[in-house]
Amino acid sequence: MAQYKRLGGIMAITLATATGLTACGFGGSSGEESGGGTTLDLLVPSYSDATQGLWNDVIAGFEEENPDIDVNLQVESWDNLESVIATKIQGGDAPDIYNGGPFAGFAEDELLYPAEEVVSEDTLADFQPTFLENAQVGDTVYGLPFIASARALFVNDALLEEAGADVPTTWDELLESAKKVSELGGGVAGYGMPLGSEEAQAEAAVWLWGGGGSFGDADAITVDAPENLPGAEFIKTMIDEGATQADAGATDRSPLMDIFVQGKIGMQVGLPPTVGQIESDNPDLEYSVHPIPTEDGSPFTLGVADHLMAFQNDGDKQEAITAFLDYFYSPEVYVPWVQAEGFLPTTLSGSEELADEEALAPFLEVLPDAQFYPTTNPDWQATDSAFKALFGQLDSDKSAEDVLADIQAQVDAG
Amino acid sequence: MKDLLKALPWIGPAVALIATVVLFPVGLMFWNSTRDISQSGVDKGGVGLDNFAAVVGFDAFWPILGRTVVWVVVVVACTLVISLALAALLNKAFPGRRLVRMAVIVPWASSVVMTTLVVHYGLEPYFGIINSFLVDVGLIDTPEGYGWTRHAGTAFAWAMVVAVFVSLPFTTYTILAGLQTVPGETVEAARLDGANGVRTYLSVVLPQLRGAVSVAVLINIINVFNSLPILRVMTGSIPGYDADTVMTMIFKYMQNQRQIDLASALSVIAFLVVVAIVAVYVRFVRPLEEV
């Protein structure tokens, strides 16, 4: 008997600790309806330390105009966002409005309102057409383009001058300039290439698409395709010839950008907020922003748009959601929001208002040549994670063909 | 039966708590492992054991399992050896012992993620303090340092160092508590019989520590097997699956690939492995048996 008691105790300890990891399957239920009005749950990621405050201002303004609607704000880090939303959906507790990246999976599962049902015609007509196209599943727009970013090449002018290198427009020029900068020594790297898990898909797009490839479209993901090979091969060339920082395969983007800001890297692909980061962390850095070099020098940028989307839930909050979204997309509310976060607007009226912003100019310039991830493909999520998990293996003995084939295999299995 | 009914009001809350925070999640985990769950979390029906087949059929599964065994054995063994030495030291009277005893608790008192991040940043090329030190003393000849956390082998080894470091306080204190129950007469008797220090420790003190050591080892095995944050921070940016254990793989299924069904299946496997280890351990070592 005593023996069993002990065994039971140990089993209980084991159970408790062994399940610690998987036990977090259910989130708490969120706020209940209060005071007879409607409550909207808003789940958003944190773009910067200012995000929460910006949303609180929007909500305060909205609630003043619409006293019968309460808005509940929940801010999550990007790392957690997607598991939080999956958990909430699984627990039957989806938010009413959600700010995220990929949305095709939700549309497939018939969880979302089509965009035209949750914003007025005027609001819908104000979005940039290319962004709306990128927000469709089939012929229906489900995502409301929220903010956009584009990539450009940040160049450390001082290092390039010291090395006697020119700002490149083609891959061959990039290789040559980067090698010259690397040869300066002292830990300086010519080109900062972040293939680590943080955002490997972005660096992959910069190279594979810059060589004429693509990840596929809404119907099929085609990573393992001959037109993607030149880009992957050239990444290997850059690494093998010492044009990049050490251990490119496992270097994450944000820490590497910090090193660029410290002035130890010749060239690296960056985002609009990088301008603000340099401004605050190292304003003395002599740098300039240029279009991304491609194989043949033709202009191209990787555009990314995040989206707002409305979940159907019980289907009784459509009017309140419409009121909130129309309020948010009015230029007086929307433009300051985008501006404060340092991103690019997705509305026509927003672009007009920001046209004379000096810091954003190089990015607004390349925006017409933007290509997007195939986010409307239901397999995009699997593709994204396959790139994060496997693309860095280019920095190893593995051949470019094998790396692309492995990524394709993981996508097809997912 | 009547006794049970009488006891119910007293054990009821505890039973309810165990049912909701232990048994229910376990049940749900088993249930999810046999379902097809979409990426956005919608249950699309049962698939029997397909998820288990997918998890075990994954190329990296067996290497990951092997690495998990290495991880547990090395970390627990190193922790135990160092803790035995530390506990023996702390059991001696010396000036400042109280301060040293406090210092040993520090890794326990600080968050594991914090401790790991401190080491992780120290290992960063360009600005990490450990890299700078190794460059300054001439052990590394690249001026930006070496990418310790960028290579599967070195990152895994450093993760083990951190895991041992954070496991020390609990193990040391458990053994120290055990040491204080060793009667002084037994040691004195051994001395009188002419045994030297080493002999006394191995033949007289260590056997009496059996209870403390076996409990410490058991709890460490479970803890280390289930440890996620250290490996997640240390090996997180490495491509491929060359530095993963079962726990980080569950996390990758869940967080990166959002395959809750596969993550649950692997969790069930991990759970069964832990239960099996503990059952064998309890059967043969009898950690809770009186000496």
What ipTM was predicted for this assembly? 0.77
Cβ neighbours, 10 Å, residue B175: 24
Residue B44: Cβ-neighbour burial (10 angstroms; 0-12, 13-18, 19+): exposed
Which residues of chain B are modeled with pLDDT < 70?
287-291
Q: How far does A215 lie from chain B, in Å, by closest CA?
A: 18
Best A19, A183, A188 residue to mutate vs chain B (most B CBs within 10 Å): A19
CB B164 within 8 A of CB B112: no
Are A132 and A206 members of one domain? Answer: no
Range of the structural domain that residue A78 is part of: 38-149+304-368
Best B28, B39, B281 residue to mutate vs chain A (most A CBs within 10 Å): B39
Q: Is residue A18 part of a domain?
A: no
Residues 6 or more apart whose CB falls under 8 angstroms from that of A234 comprise: A171, A175, A207, A211, A295
Backbone angles phi, psi at A211, to 5 degrees: -100, 15
Best A5, A13, A22 residue to mutate vs chain B (most B CBs within 10 Å): A22
Domain count, chain A: 2
What pLDDT score was predicted for residue B288? 64
Q: Is residue B8 part of a domain?
A: no
What pLDDT score was predicted for residue B79? 97
Pairing between β-strand A144-150 and β-strand A344-345 as defined by DSSP bridges = antiparallel
Distance CA A203, CA A397 (A): 20
CB A237 within 8 A of CB A399: no
Cβ-based contacts of A393 with chain B (< 8 Å): 239-240
Q: How far does A406 lie from chain B, in Å, by closest CA?
A: 10
**Which amino acid makes up residue A224?**
D
Range of the structural domain that residue B159 is part of: 60-285
pLDDT tens string A115-151: 999 999 999 999 888 788 888 888 899 999 998 888 9
Could you tell me the mean pLDDT of each successive run of 10 residues in chain A, 414 residues long? 48 47 40 61 90 94 92 89 87 91 83 92 88 84 90 94 94 96 91 92 95 90 95 95 92 91 94 88 93 91 90 88 93 90 86 79 79 85 89 92 94 80
**Chain B (36-55) residues lying within 8 Å, Cβ to Cβ, of chain A:** 37-43, 54
- What are B174's two structure tokens? 């458990």
Q: Is residue A44 part of a domain?
A: yes
**Which amino acid makes up residue B231?**
L
Closest by CA position to B275, among listed A2, A7, A203: A7
Count chain A–chain B contacts defined by CB atoms under 8 A. 169
Return the ∠ at Cα A394 (arms to A241 and A169), rounded to 5°. Answer: 55
Q: How far does B102 lie from chain A, in Å, by closest CA?
A: 27
Cα atoms in the 13 Å half-sphere on the side-chain side of A123 = 21
Q: Is residue B24 part of a domain?
A: no
CB B200 within 8 A of CB B190: yes
CB A245 within 8 A of CB B150: no
Cβ-based contacts of A12 with chain B (< 8 Å): 18, 22
At A167, is the secondary structure helix, strand, or coil? coil
Q: Is residue B2 part of a domain?
A: no
Q: Is residue B154 part of a domain?
A: yes
**Chain B (259-278) residues lying within 8 Å, Cβ to Cβ, of chain A:** 259-260, 263-264, 267, 270-271, 274-275, 278
Distance CA A265, CA A188 (A): 6
- What are A54's two structure tokens? 């910006």
Is B172's Cβ below 8 Å from some Cβ in A?
Answer: no
List the CATH number of the domain containing A158: 3.40.190.10
CA distances from A131 to A104, A309, A379, B72 (A): 15, 14, 20, 50
Q: Which helix (H) or strand (E) holds A87?
A: helix A78-90
Answer yes or no: do B22 and A105 touch at CB < 8 A. Answer: no
Are A171 and A256 members of one domain? Answer: yes
Q: How far does A392 lie from chain B, in Å, by closest CA?
A: 5
Q: Is residue B198 part of a domain?
A: yes
Pairing between β-strand A189-192 and β-strand A265-270 as defined by DSSP bridges = parallel
Q: Is residue A26 part of a domain?
A: no
Answer yes or no: do A21 and B43 touch at CB < 8 A. Answer: no
- pTM of model > 0.90: no
At A262, is the secondary structure helix, strand, or coil? coil
Answer yes or no: do A186 and B223 touch at CB < 8 A. Answer: no
SS3 content of chain A, % helix, strand, coil (to 5): 50, 20, 35
Are A81 and A216 members of one domain? Answer: no
Q: Is residue A11 part of a domain?
A: no
Nearest-CB residue to B240 (from A13, A79, A389): A389
Q: Which helix (H) or strand (E) holds B216?
A: helix B210-225
Answer yes or no: do B22 and A15 touch at CB < 8 A. Answer: yes
Q: Which residue of A has its CA nearest to B282?
A: A7
List the CATH number of the domain containing B155: 1.10.3720.10
Contacts 24+ apart (CB under 8 A), B252-255: B252/A389, B254/A83, B255/A79, B255/A82, B255/A83
Nearest-CB residue to B25 (from A23, A251, A264): A23
What pLDDT score was predicted for residue A414? 66
Are A50 and A92 members of one domain? Answer: yes
Are A274 and A399 members of one domain? Answer: yes
Return the ∠ at Cα A402 (arms to B71 and A242), rounded to 5°. Answer: 80
Domain count, chain B: 1
Is B56's Cβ below 8 Å from some Cβ in A?
Answer: no
Are A340 and A203 members of one domain? Answer: no
Are A268 and A319 members of one domain? Answer: no
Answer yes or no: do A19 and B39 touch at CB < 8 A. Answer: no
- What are B83's two structure tokens? 């803790």
Q: Is residue A281 part of a domain?
A: yes
Helices (H), A342-379: 348-354, 361-366
Are A88 and A111 members of one domain? Answer: yes
Q: Is residue A296 part of a domain?
A: no
Is B233's Cβ below 8 Å from some Cβ in A?
Answer: no
- What are A240's two structure tokens? 């093998």
